[in-house]
Amino acid sequence: MSDLLIRNARLVDGRVVSIDIRDGRYARIADASDVRTPEQEAADVLDADGRLVTESFVNGHMHLEKVYTLPMVGDEALGAYTAGSMGGAMTSIELASAVKRQYDRSWIEPNVRRALDEAVRYGTLHVLAFVDVDTTAGLVGMESVLAVREEYRGRVDLQVVAFPQDGLIRDEGAAELCEEALRMGADVVGGIPWIEHTDTDAYAHVEWACSLASAQGRRVAMLVDDSGDPSLRTTGMLAEAMLRHDLLGRGVACHARALGTYPEPSLLRLIGLARRAGLGFVSDPHTGPLHLPVRRFIDEGLPVALGQDDIEDAYYPFGRHNMLEVAFLAAHLLGFLSAVEQRHLLELVTTRAADVLGLPGHRIHEGNPANLCIHDQERVVDVLREHAAPQWVVRDGHVIAGG
Ligand SMILES: [Zn+2]
């Protein structure tokens, strides 16, 4: 007997199917006319009535412990980050850092819960969550997120990144705190090499993270080259270090906005290197005036995702943890408007994003975990246009939102 049968589900390729879920996985996906009377077989039945069913959403990059802190920091950092060609990005990070002196689990944890409740509502069930760990924040943000992660286990999966937001060489003591965060339960080694004052320091920063990840069998995720300076080269440093430390396919480069300003020969060189290293990329074009050349990276076959990045923090005032909203914004900022590009947008927040995060089997295929959204619209264009909460959100074969 099925745990859940979804009738009349329209897949992105246009087929209308019945989806039979057992033990949390897709047991059978068959043409809608091809199944026996479902009421006799399934514990629960949902009728999608021809509306679109997609994989659940994956948020490739999120600053999770900072959500809803904008009222505490004011607009100064926001202005510095987004002005001109992002020359003030480093100043912005320094201004935003002030909030960390007030870090306290009593207000961080409710904020994180609110952001994860939004994630469930919008079908965002996997998140690469960056948490600041440095000599200002200490381990308070990390303790908060790790505690809330347990509460949401089975609904939202967090890959928690120990993230030295203010640098490692600039912020002496941050490396030891990150190592402690990993012992406490963080999953991924973080980094932000571009913020260091010299290329030598940036290299040492990347080397620390990748050697640690390699020694402990972890993944790495970094913020790289996050300003409008075409001479920034920490993305390449990360890819090289992944090759050096046998981290093939286990690294993620976020932001990487400077790549949009690279001259063609530099970009080509980087693309070749990233391909060899299996480096994945996450872009969030709505949170800054520059962005990764996403279209080019898709054409080159590199793993790319979109990220929510921020929800009402010092860098971005909006955000609902709604990856369809992120995709809708990206449609305009990246010029992804054709039917093929609309499909790409969906993939950038579902299947391609899962590839970037190293999540196995995030596809509506038999045998894979049944994590999906049943939308209220039939066509991809309408799902993007309305970017509404799905009608139902299914996690491991169980309805966890909607209805
Ligand atoms: Zn970010």
Q: Answer whether CATH 3.20.20.140 is correct for domain 57-357.
A: yes
Block residue for tokens 């001479």: 231
pLDDT digit string, tens, across residues 146-166: 999 999 999 999 999 999 999
Give the mean pLDDT of 225-239.
Answer: 96
Q: Of 43 and 400, which is predicted with more confidence? A: 400
At residue 322 the predicted structure's pLDDT band, cuts being 50, 70 and 90, is very high
What is the model's pLDDT at position 96? 80
Q: Do domains 2-50+364-402 and 57-357 have the same CATH topology?
A: no
Q: How far is the CA of 299 from the centre of ligand 1 (A)?
A: 24
How sure is the predictor about 89, in pLDDT bands with cuts at 50, 70 and 90? confident
**What is the pTM assigned to this prediction?**
0.96
Give distance in angstroms: CA of 155 to centre of ligand 1: 23
Residue 178: pLDDT over 60: yes
Percent above pLDDT 90 for the chain:
89
Q: How confident is the model at residue 39, as a pLDDT? A: 53
C-alpha 53 to ligand 1 mean position (Å): 29
Output the pLDDT for position 384.
98
Q: Does domain 2-50+364-402 have CATH number 2.30.40.10?
A: yes
Phi/psi of residue 230, nearest 5 degrees: -70, -5
Spacing, Cα 119 to ligand 1 middle (Å) = 17
Domain ranges of the chain: 2-50+364-402, 57-357
Kindly give the distance from the C-alpha atom of residue 220 to the centroid of ligand 1, in angstroms, as a whole number: 15
Q: Give the model's confidence band at 35: pLDDT under 50 very low, under 70 low, under 90 confident, else very high.
A: low
Ligand 1 mean position, distance from CA 175 (Å):
19
Residue 316 alpha carbon to ligand 1 centre in Å: 10
Q: What is the mean pLDDT of residues 167-176?
A: 96
- pLDDT surpassing 60 at residue 38: no
How far is ligand 1, taken at its centre, from the CA of residue 376, in Å?
30
Q: How far is the CA of 62 from the centre of ligand 1 (A)?
A: 6
Tokens representing 10? 């329209």
Distance 281 CA to ligand 1 centre (A): 12
pLDDT > 80? residue 34: no
CA 125 to centroid of ligand 1, rounded, Å: 19
